[in-house]
Amino acid sequence: MKYIFGNWKSNKNLNGALEWLKDFGKVNSDNEIVLLPAFNLLGAIYEKAREAGFVLGVQDLSSMAAGSYTGAVSAVNLEGMEVKYAILGHSERRHHFGETDQDVANKVERALEAGLVPVVCVDEEYIFSQAAALEQSQLSKCMVAYEPLSAIGTGEEMSVKKVEVVFAQIKKVFGEVKVIYGGSVNPDNVDEYLLVGDGVLVGTASLDAKEFSALSK
Ligand code: PEP
């Protein structure tokens, strides 16, 4: 089984999300199709999404436990919605919000405590530093997404050969973890990436239900 993540980022309002679910219809795949809506949309659509056969995830998670942390979304806030995955350390979080390897490590700890699967996003330059910020015992509990900055949202996907090389580097450092690729994945190139790894993380092409359906085979 492969893993296909659709990251809506901060796109879509409630109507748009409901419309998308209607257009997509039921999941019809042997793969795990994971939807990552914004937190507020997750609360509004999780039942419908699960009924349609999606597995749910979040795009981020507070590095703190539940408590007096205004604006943060903790793992406790997600209870009852059957969320399985937390994408952590996406390059957009690192770049726009100043997240460090240690911040990501703290989030991994919160995710694991809550029984969520952390999907740690890395680019080549910080595979090692990110792994070093994690406890040895946490490494094998992560899924790792290779997300080269040059390929994210640019339409310039990384060559499959290069992706294979980086997957091997990730496994050397993290151990036998599941590895997925993200960066301009679309219905035409998805198969090549699924052949060499465990799945894909899809941004732009997940925003259109028909396009995401075409690659969620
Ligand atoms: C992403 O942001 O994780 C991503 C892979 O985006 P896109 O598919 O648009 O390149």
Mutation to probe ligand 1, out of 5, 85, 152, 190 (largest number of atoms < 8 A from CB): 152
In this predicted structure, the answer to whether residue 79 has a pLDDT above a threshold of 90 is yes
Token pair belonging to 108: 């991994």
- pLDDT for the residue numbered 203: 98
Say if CB 88 and CB 118 are below 8 A apart: yes
Condensed to tens digits (0 to 9), the pLDDT of residues 149-200 reads 999 999 999 999 999 999 999 999 999 999 999 999 999 999 999 999 999 9
Confirm whether 113 is a catalytic residue: no
Task: For the chain, state the CA radius of gyration.
Answer: 16
- pLDDT for the residue numbered 217: 82
Which segments of the chain are extended strands (E)?
Answer: 3-7, 32-36, 55-58, 83-88, 117-122, 143-146, 178-182, 199-202
How many separate domains does the chain show? 1
Q: How far is the CA of 81 from the centre of ligand 1 (A)?
A: 25
- Which pTM does this prediction carry? 0.97
SS3 label, residue 4:
strand
Which residue's C-alpha comes closest to atom 8 of ligand 1?
Answer: 203
In this predicted structure, the answer to whether residue 65 has a pLDDT above a threshold of 90 is yes
Domain span holding position 139: 3-215
Say if CB 206 and CB 8 are below 8 A apart: yes
Residue with tokens 């659509």: 45
Spot the catalytic one: 32, 92, 99, 147.
147
Condensed to tens digits (0 to 9), the pLDDT of residues 123-148 reads 999 999 999 999 999 999 999 999 99
Q: How far is the CA of 5 from the centre of ligand 1 (A)?
A: 10
Percent of the chain with pLDDT over 90: 100
The CATH code of the domain that includes 52 is 3.20.20.70
Rounded CA separation 119/108 (Å):
9
